[in-house]
RNA sequence: UCCUCGGUAGCUCAAAGGAAGAGCACCUGACUGUUAAUCAGGUUGUUGCAGGUUCGAGUCCUGCCCGAGGAGCCA
């Protein structure tokens, strides 16, 4: 008898199969018992009857508890009364492990309780679904880059100093020396892209900001491509092309998951690159027209960003931010406008900034000036300045926040549900 | 760091100064097509911690702890 996975069950109609999984829920109707069995790839309803099931297995069902691990043998059949259209006529059940008292009952629970039980919560339908979509989003984004000749070059997590200087860092004792957990792979990407042309890194990044909102984690995953000999326009094209590709691929490959989430995907389906693109000055003007007040030179606050995003029905870009709101390595716009060759890509529906990027400063003198102006520790940037001393070229790239992307695509309000184990202010368990 | 809200049974919540309750989970029983199954019965308490006011505090006051939403900052 073949051990099969539930996601493949439609290929085994009228066949005898074995499913190895866990009891998701059960209902009993006297002489007939319904088991919802999950195996990590899906959920199927198993039906046990007095006539069709071994007597020992049949009576054993009464003692089975939620999330007990079981190996079930039976025959697959189509039945419109079953939740997924297929069900398993159970012949026998082998109990691998059974224990009562599973904390997460199929009822409502509070946020704190669920987060304390995150290691179990990820078994529940909605969390499981979101994390499957997350995996597909990551694979899609990486495939998109590989198909375009990008190589994955991992950036270090221990770093000697800040990439952007302004945000708070987690300090770690490194054999007596202070080092910091990476807040971006950006600077290292610039080195690897001068060696390999087109690269990306994908890893966790850490921000010790005391942010307590639905858009923030202290540990989140960022996908950062970087291209040598590329300008702002090239980075923008890559970013919007990637978002377009990933959205449609996920809609195509994870249709069933979106049905489970009851996510209305009509606006996602209509997304087509290129996206609307406005300069920072225009965005500020627009925000003020929308009734939020905002000065030129400021970055967008959350309410301003949301108002702006609501005036578009697709993802859109804001370009040429002033120097003050962007990192020291962002290249200045030629012609002394005070703007940088930068862009943010914002998701609609109030999900905010999911991509930030631009063209990097490649003149060693201008970069030195900027480091001095911002009072950054210049010794730590020696190697970085070397990149401009030896074979410096224009180069561009961006960083994509995976969790915000997942939240937007899944229509999830809080980013904590878009990563298996969220790290937040005051929460590092489990 | 600041603002707002909250902490009562394993879970979700009610009890507006006067006998601590309900639903779910769990246990017992009924039911051969259930969809968070349903129905009947049963078990479940240091009301976050410390102090105060009062004849009497889950309820009012003070301090602390923990959590949630938001701001700033950011992806």
Tell me the whole-structure pTM to 2 decimals: 0.94
Start-end of CATH 3.30.930.10 domains in chain A: 118-418
Which CATH superfamily includes the segment(s) A118-418?
Bira Bifunctional Protein; Domain 2 (3.30.930.10)
Nucleotide nearest to A112 (CA to C1'): B67
Nucleotide nearest to A326 (CA to C1'): B74
Distance A12 CA to B33 C1' (A): 22
Which pLDDT score, from 0 to 100, does residue A165 have? Answer: 53
* Cβ A313 to strand B below 7 Å: no
Distance A38 CA to B36 C1' (A): 16
Low-confidence ranges of chain A (pLDDT < 50): 166
Which pLDDT score, from 0 to 100, does residue A160 have? Answer: 84
Start-end of CATH 2.40.50.140 domains in chain A: 2-97
Closest CA-bearing residue to C1' of B38: A29
Among A155, A126, A315, smallest CA distance to A223 is for A155
Among A268, A226, A224, smallest CA distance to A247 is for A268
Domain A2-97 architecture: Beta Barrel (2.40)
Which pLDDT score, from 0 to 100, does residue A12 have? Answer: 96
Distance A277 CA to B20 C1' (A): 61
Distance A94 CA to B44 C1' (A): 32
Instruction: Tell me which nucleotides of strand B come within 7 A of a protein CB.
Output: 1-2, 10-13, 23-27, 30-38, 66-75
Which pLDDT score, from 0 to 100, does residue A200 have? Answer: 98
Residues 6+ apart with CB under 8 A from A333: A320, A339, A340, A341
Which pLDDT score, from 0 to 100, does residue A164 have? Answer: 54
* Cβ A262 to strand B below 7 Å: no
* List of A residues 28-67 with CB within 7 A of strand B: 28-32, 34, 36, 45, 47, 49-51, 65-66
Nucleotide nearest to A28 (CA to C1'): B34
Distance A34 CA to B29 C1' (A): 19
Please, are residues A18 and A72 in contact by the beta-carbon 8 Å criterion? yes
Which pLDDT score, from 0 to 100, does residue A295 have? Answer: 83
* Cβ A219 to strand B below 7 Å: no
């Amino acid at each position: 008898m073949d051990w099969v996975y539930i996601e493949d069950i439609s290929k085994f109609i009228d066949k005898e199969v074995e499913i190895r999984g866990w009891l998701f829920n059960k209902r009993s109707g006297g002489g007939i018992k319904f088991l919802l069995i999950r195996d990590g790839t899906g959920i199927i309803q198993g039906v046990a009857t007095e006539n069709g099931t071994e007597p020992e297995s049949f009576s054993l069902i009464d003692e089975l508890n939620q999330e007990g691990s079981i190996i079930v043998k039976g025959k697959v059949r189509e039945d419109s009364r079953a939740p997924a259209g297929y069900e398993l006529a159970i012949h026998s059940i082998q109990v691998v492990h059974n224990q009562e008292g599973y904390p997460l009952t199929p009822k409502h629970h509070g946020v704190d309780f669920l987060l304390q039980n995150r290691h179990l919560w990820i078994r529940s339908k909605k969390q499981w679904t979101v994390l499957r979509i997350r995996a597909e989003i990551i694979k899609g984004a990486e495939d998109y880059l590989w198909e375009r000749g990008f190589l994955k070059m991992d950036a270090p997590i221990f770093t000697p100093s800040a990439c952007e200087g302004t945000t708070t860092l987690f300090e770690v004792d490194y054999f007596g020396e202070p080092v910091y957990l990476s807040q971006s792979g950006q600077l290292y990407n610039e080195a690897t892209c001068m060696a390999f042309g087109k690269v990306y890194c994908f890893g966790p990044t850490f921000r010790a900001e005391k942010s307590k909102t639905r858009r923030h984690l202290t540990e989140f995953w960022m996908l950062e491509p970087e291209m040598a000999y590329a300008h702002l326009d090239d980075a923008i094209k890559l970013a919007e092309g990637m978002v377009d590709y990933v959205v449609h691929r996920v809609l195509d490959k994870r249709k069933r998951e979106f049905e489970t989430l009851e996510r209305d995907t009509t606006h996602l389906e209509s997304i087509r690159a290129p996206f609307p693109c406005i300069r920072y000055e225009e965005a500020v003007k627009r925000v003020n027209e929308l009734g939020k007040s905002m000065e030129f030179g400021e970055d967008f606050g959350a309410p301003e960003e949301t108002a702006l995003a609501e005036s578009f029905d697709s993802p859109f870009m804001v370009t040429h931010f002033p120097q003050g709101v962007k990192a020291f390595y962002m290249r200045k716009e030629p012609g002394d406008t005070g703007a940088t060759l930068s862009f943010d890509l914002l998701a609609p529906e109030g999900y905010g900034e999911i991509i930030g990027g631009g063209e990097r400063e490649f003149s060693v003198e201008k970069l030195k000036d900027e480091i001095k102006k911002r009072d950054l520790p210049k010794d730590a940037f020696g190697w970085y300045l070397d990149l401009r001393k030896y074979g410096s070229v224009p180069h561009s790239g961006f960083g994509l926040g995976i969790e915000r992307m997942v939240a937007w695509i899944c229509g999830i309000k809080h980013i904590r549900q878009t990563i298996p184990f969220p790290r937040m202010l005051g929460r590092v368990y489990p």
